[in-house]
Amino acid sequence: MTRICPFAAVALPLLGCTSPTSPGAGQAPEDSASPVAEELPEPYALEGLTVAADLDPQLDVVEVHLTAAVSSVEWVEGRQTEIWTYNGLVPGPVIAAKVGDTVRVVLTNELEEETTIHWHGLRISDEMDGVPAIQAPVQPGEQFTYEFVVPDSGTFWYHPHVRANEQIEHGLQGMLVVEEADAPELPERGFVLDDVYLSASGSFGSFNTNHMEQMHGRFGNLLLANGESRVLDGALAPGVPERWRIVNTANARMMSVEVDGAPWRIVAIDGTLLAEPLEVTRFRMPVGRRIDVEVLPQSSGDTVSLSVFTAGETYPVFEASVEGEPGPGEWTTWPATPLPALADPTQEVELVLNGRSSTSGQLEWTINDEVYGEHEALPVSADTPTRITVRDRSGADHPFHLHGQFFRVLSRDGEQLPWDAGRLDTVLVGGDEELVLQTDFDNPGRWMAHCHILEHAELGMMAELVIE
C-alpha cells in the first residue's frame, strides 16, 4: 500500500515509506495501564487514539500533564526519524472533557527550544491561548499550567503557536474533544490526518527555505493517520452507527475525505453539530478543519474504509471489516447546536490576503498589506454583530483561522453553500475568492487571525484583532 510516498525525488523503493511491522509512535506501549489510570474514572474512549488520563478526581475538572520531548520513530524503513512528542506520542494524547468542565493542562517543556500550546477553536481567555504575543513562551526545562473552562462542545485540537510550521510538523499536535452534555451514546473513533516531508534518510531537513515551500506551504511525501504510516485496521458492527472525529493537522495539504462501504454523513463541522447532517460523496478539509462523521455499517462481511483524496489520488488510511452482533441500523438523532438568527451587522472588518516579494527577494504573505510583526493591531468592538469580508488577492488558497471566536459564512463569492454551514473557526479562502463572514466578537481580548498554511503564517500572514 503506498501512501503519498514515494519520495519521488529520492531513490527509495515504492513501499519503502511504510513500516508495517514496527510499532509507530502513535501506538501506546502495551503495558501502559498505570495504576493511576485504573483508579480514576475514564469515561471517554476514542478508538484509534490514546486518551490522556484525567489526573483530577473532581468530575468537572480534567487535569492532563503533557511533556514535550524528543523521541524517534521508524516511518522510513530502516531509518529513525527524530520526532517531537507530547508524552512520547504522535499525535499527542486526546484531551477529553465535557462542555463546561475546567481543563487544566500542565505543560513541561523538555525540548531544546521554547514552545506554547494553542487550543484551536476554543473560546477561552486570550491569556490561555498560547500565542507568544500574550504568553511568554515556555522555555526549555520550564513548566506552564494552562487552565480554562471549555464553553463549547465539539472536536478541537491543540498545537504549539511558536515556530508552528516546524513544531507541528515534528509531531506536536493532538485532538481535544469536548463532549455535548447530551451526547448520543455511540462508539467513537478518531483520525488525526497529517503529512510529513522526510528526506531519504528519514529526517525533516530544513524548514521554509525553498521557494516551493514558502509559496505553497510544506507538502509531505508521507501520509500519516494517527501517527502511523500504514493503513489502520479495525472492526465495525453491522447496523451500529459510529461517530468518527477527523482533523487535518497537515502544514499545508488540503485533504478530502471519503468513506466507502457504508452510508455516511457529516454531522459536525469545526465545533458545531449541524441542524441538517450533510450527505456528500467526499468532503474537503483545509488544514485546521475538523469534521464529525456518522458512519452506518451495513452487513457482516462488508469492508468499510476511510480514504484521503489529495493531489488526484485516493489513499486509504483505515480499513475495517463489518462483523459481530447486529445493531438497530438507524441514523442517530443529533442534538444540533442552536444557531441564533443573524442580527444586522453594525460593524465591518475587511481583511485582504495577499503575497509579495520583499526587497531581499524573500516571499512575504500579508493581511491588509502588512506582515505579522510589523503590523498594527486592528481594534474592533466586542459583542457587536460584525461582517468580516475576507478577500484573497493572491490567487493561492488560504485556510483562514480566527482565534477565540466562531463565525458563520454568509457567502462565498456571493453564494451560500451547504458545506459552509454552522459556526466555524477555520474556512478555506480559495484563490481569488471573497468570503463574507459574520461574528459577534463575543469573546474579548487580543486574538490572532491567520492563514493556517503554517509557512504562510510564518511568513507574515497573521493579523491581530483587539476585541474590546
Q: How far is the CB of 450 from ligand C2O (least distance, A)?
A: 6
Residue with cell 514558502: 214
How far is the C-alpha of 12 from the C-alpha of 416, rounded, in Å?
46
User: Which range of residues in 297-305, 404-412, 427-435, 445-453 is near ligand C2O by CB under 6 A?
Assistant: 445-453
Q: Where are the beta strands (DSSP E) in 283-406?
A: 283-285, 290-295, 303-310, 313-322, 347-357, 363-367, 378-380, 386-392, 398-402
User: Which range of residues in 52-60, 214-222, 253-261, 444-452 is near ligand C2O by CB under 6 A?
Assistant: 444-452
Instruction: For residue 9, give Cα distances in angstroms to 57, 314, 423.
Output: 52, 21, 41
Residues 395-434, one symbol each (x = binds ligand C2O by CB under 6 A, - = not), give ------x-x-------------------------------
Residues 284-303, one symbol each (x = binds ligand C2O by CB under 6 A, - = not), give ----x---------------
How far is the C-alpha of 325 from the C-alpha of 318, rounded, in Å?
21
Instruction: For residue 350, give Cα distances in angstroms to 108, 333, 466.
Output: 39, 38, 14
Q: How far is the CB of 43 from ligand C2O (least distance, A)?
A: 27
Query: Is the Cβ of residue 161 or residue 423 nearer to ligand C2O in the bound state?
Result: 161
Q: How far is the CB of 159 from ligand C2O (least distance, A)?
A: 6
Contact between 313 and 251 under an 8 Å Cβ cutoff? The reply is: no
Does residue 451 interact with Cu ion by CB under 5 A? yes
How far is the C-alpha of 152 from the C-alpha of 271, rounded, in Å?
7
Q: How far is the CB of 447 from ligand C2O (least distance, A)?
A: 9
Query: 342 is written with which cell numbers?
Result: 443573524
Query: 410 is written with which cell numbers?
Result: 454568509
Q: Where are the beta strands (DSSP E) in 135-217?
A: 143-149, 154-159, 174-179, 188-196
Does residue 120 interact with ligand C2O by CB under 6 A? yes
Does residue 450 interact with Cu ion by CB under 5 A? no
Does residue 448 interact with ligand C2O by CB under 6 A? yes
Total residues interacting with ligand C2O, rule: CB under 6 A: 10
Contact with ligand C2O (CB under 6 A): which of 189, 218, 450, 456?
A: 450
Contact between 435 and 397 under an 8 Å Cβ cutoff? The reply is: no
CA 100, 106, 110, 113: dihedral to nearest 10 degrees? 60
Does residue 164 interact with Cu ion by CB under 5 A? no
Q: C-alpha angle 420/265/309, rounded to 5°?
A: 75
Query: Is the Cβ of residue 101 or residue 392 nearer to Cu ion in the bound state?
Result: 392
Does residue 250 interact with ligand C2O by CB under 6 A? no
Query: 176 is written with which cell numbers?
Result: 481535544
Q: How many CB atoms lie within 10 A of CB 216?
A: 15
Pairing verdict, β 363-367 and 347-357? antiparallel
Contact with Cu ion (CB under 5 A): which of 53, 189, 456, 459?
A: 456
Q: What are phi and psi of 45, to 5 degrees?
A: -130, 140
User: Which range of residues in 51-59, 67-75, 185-193, 397-405 is near Cu ion by CB under 5 A?
Assistant: 397-405
Query: Is the Cβ of residue 131 or residue 232 nearer to ligand C2O in the bound state?
Result: 131
Query: Is the Cβ of residue 380 or residue 448 nearer to ligand C2O in the bound state?
Result: 448
C-beta nearest to ligand C2O: residue:
120
How far is the C-alpha of 322 from the C-alpha of 319, rounded, in Å?
10
Total residues interacting with Cu ion, rule: CB under 5 A: 4
Contact with ligand C2O (CB under 6 A): which of 161, 218, 289, 387?
A: 161
Query: Is the Cβ of residue 164 or residue 262 nearer to ligand C2O in the bound state?
Result: 164
**CA count, 13 A, side-chain hemisphere, 388:** 28
Query: Is the Cβ of residue 167 or residue 305 nearer to ligand C2O in the bound state?
Result: 167
User: Which range of residues in 179-187, 196-204, 342-350, 448-456 is near Cu ion by CB under 5 A?
Assistant: 448-456
Does residue 398 interact with Cu ion by CB under 5 A? yes
Amino acid at 261: G
Binding residues for ligand C2O (CB under 6 A): 118, 120, 159, 161, 288, 401, 403, 448, 450, 452
Binding residues for Cu ion (CB under 5 A): 398, 451, 453, 456
